[in-house]
Structure 1
């Protein structure tokens, strides 16, 4: 399987503008033969916690229709980051998976950063797995990856690839990616981290989205901030810049 981290930039709280940009990434990934594409945390809204509730989405939201259609057209599994509506409660930080057969599934961030609980509700499920072209893929969102038990649960469930949409600053990059490389080595599964291309919600992203092979070897990493795809398969990795 060929898979990629979409290092995208987000317009604050503008779902329509971000959907349009996501479509450009899906098209570029399709041209590169990508079969699994993963976007950063809250890629459809930006990391705008105070305003999330106003633009929260449901899995079957009409605003996602262009993404569902493009994923199906490209025969691609696409994981986008989004604020999730939560009836009568604070929204969740979610990963919405758009499957090539038209199905949509939702994972909610299980482990929250300090302070996030003021704006969002944590998800109850610690792990979610999808079969993508015969590969078992587990989902994570940013702070999830800071807890080894999250990656361990994915491995116990049979994950072969652990993918995370994140927002990681330069100051936290070495620690966070060191943990991710460690999971690849400890649990014998590939690891992908998709980071924001630029600042979001007042946090300056380091960029440098990365993919590690089973065993912890770095396959590919984006050179820094900016919009691009970090792509990997059995033959190695490459970077594709987006205009």
Structure 2
């Protein structure tokens, strides 16, 4: 199986322009026969908590229909980031598009302290099955609670993915945490991060993939948009720069 981390420079609050950016990256991933691609936290809007209420949508909103069409057309599972509304709750969500299936949603369960007064916590764990792999989804601060990755292990995950906004000041700590998760639980681990600026943070890039022993298999740089692809059958890595 080929699974990819997408690294993008988001356009603050511009849903339509960010969708176009996603489409370019997905089309490029399709040329490499990627089976699944993971985008960073809140990738469709950028990480902009003060705008999240205004920008939020129901996860089934038709503005995102293009991703189901691309999932079907490319036989690729696609995970994007979006603020969503469920009743009176505002959530940080990963919206999941799988070929030939109804779209799904996973909402961040463990909020960063600055998010608690804005967002609600999600309630459900999320694991996908694809080509004999079990893929558990995490959103940023989820990975800081050991119970989250432990649950992935207990449900026999083979891949743990983290959609994040990670700043230049926070990236090193999370790289250590994710490497430790891979080593402890014998899972491939993938992190998709932003470059550029979002939410007042200088984003660190360095989207990364670790082996089941915790060794770093590949990492993008801290400046450029791109795709990092893992072939789980042989631990081979491909890096694609997006102009």
Q: Structure 2, unaligned stretches of length 5 or more?
A: none
Q: Give the drift of 1:215.
A: 1.0
Aligned residue number for residue 93 of structure 2: 94
Aligned residue number for residue 213 of structure 1: 211
The 1-side partners of 2:60 and 2:101 are apart by 11
Check the 8 A contact 1:69/1:102 in 2, yes or no.
no
The 1-side partners of 2:175 and 2:235 are apart by 22
Question: Helix, strand or coil: the match of 1:186?
Answer: helix
Cα displacement string for residues 92-134 of structure 1 (whole angstroms, at most 9, x for unaligned residues): 0001111011421100000010110111111112x21000122
Which TM-score applies when normalising by structure 2? 0.96
Q: Give the drift of 1:241.
A: 0.4
Structure with greater proportional strand content: 2
The 2-side partners of 1:146 and 1:136 are apart by 21
Cα displacement string for residues 47-96 of structure 1 (whole angstroms, at most 9, x for unaligned residues): 1101111111222111001111011101000110110112123x100011
Which TM-score applies when normalising by structure 1? 0.96
Question: Helix, strand or coil: the match of 1:171?
Answer: coil
The 1-side partners of 2:242 and 2:227 are apart by 8
Cα displacement string for residues 189-243 of structure 1 (whole angstroms, at most 9, x for unaligned residues): 1100000122111111110000001110111100222200011112411210011
Please show how residues 155-170 of structure 1 align to structure 2 within 5 Å: 155-170=153-168
The 2-side partners of 1:145 and 1:53 are apart by 24
Aligned residue number for residue 176 of structure 2: 178
Check the 8 A contact 1:220/1:236 in 2, yes or no.
no
Q: Does residue 1:53 correspond to 2:53, yes or no?
A: yes
Q: Does residue 1:73 correspond to 2:73, yes or no?
A: yes
Question: Helix, strand or coil: the match of 2:230?
Answer: strand
Check the 8 A contact 2:83/2:93 in 1, yes or no.
yes
The 1-side partners of 2:152 and 2:101 are apart by 25
Aligned residue number for residue 2 of structure 1: 2
Q: Of 228, 231, 235, which aligns to 2:229?
A: 231
Check the 8 A contact 2:217/2:235 in 1, yes or no.
no
Moved over 2 A (4+): none
Check the 8 A contact 1:182/1:216 in 2, yes or no.
yes
Cα displacement string for residues 28-65 of structure 1 (whole angstroms, at most 9, x for unaligned residues): 00011111100000000111101111111222111001
Aligned residue number for residue 33 of structure 2: 33
Q: Does residue 1:110 correspond to 2:125, yes or no?
A: no
Question: Helix, strand or coil: the match of 2:222?
Answer: coil
Aligned residue number for residue 130 of structure 2: 132
